[in-house]
Amino acid sequence: MITENASGAVVYRLVDQQPQYLLLKSATSNFWGFPKGHVEGNETDIETAVREIREETSLNVTVNPTFHADLDYDMRNGHHKHVVLYTAQVPADVTIERQVEEISDYGWFDFETAHERLSYPNLQDLLTQANTFLVGDQHDK
């Protein structure tokens, strides 16, 4: 089985000391997710995450390698996909210029809204992990 490797990040900004998460809507599959993409050449996962976020959103980010989550799933084409996701904070007033060929829409969402909007349960679980890492378990209180 062919394995595709990808990397990205849960990009967030703080508004009133609470994280808002950046979600991107894919132009091809119409699902909401995090900025990510395929590892190219000898790139590290962090280099891939930084490049993909810049390509898809025009944001220059510094990835926090302290949070690190792996997703593994089988794709419709029969390939296996391994995705590494980190966190990356950006200033609250950043401007995004989306890559229109790949991204049809984007938005900043609080935890609950982002969790509902994410298209797949594994991404919802990952957001919960990232949110707990960033702010603790406040959303359950």
First to last CA, the chain: 44
In the chain, where are the structural domains located?
3-134
Q: Identify which of 72, 75, 6 has the alpha carbon closest to the alpha carbon of residue 37.
A: 6
Q: Nearest-5° angle of CA 46, CA 47, CA 51?
A: 115
Q: Report the distance separating Cα 50 and Cα 20, nearest Å.
A: 19
Distance CA 48, CA 46 (A): 5
Tell me the C-alpha distance between 113 and 19, whole Å.
12
State the fold for domain 3-134.
Answer: Nucleoside Triphosphate Pyrophosphohydrolase (3.90.79)
Contact 88, 42 (CB under 8 A): no
Q: Three-state SS for 69?
A: strand
Residue 136 is predicted with a pLDDT of 74
CA atoms within 13 A on the CB side of 72: 3
Where does residue 13 rank: exposed (0-12), middle (13-18), buried (19+ CB within 10 A)? Answer: middle
The pLDDT value recorded for residue 35 is 97
Q: What is the pTM of this model?
A: 0.90
**pLDDT value, residue 137:** 52
- pLDDT given for residue 70 in this prediction: 94
Please list the pLDDT of the chain residue by residue as tens digits (141 residues). Answer: 788 999 999 999 999 999 999 999 999 888 999 999 999 999 999 999 999 999 999 999 999 999 999 999 888 888 899 999 999 999 999 999 999 999 999 999 999 999 999 989 999 999 999 999 999 754 443
- Beta strand 32-33 pairing with 3-15: unpaired
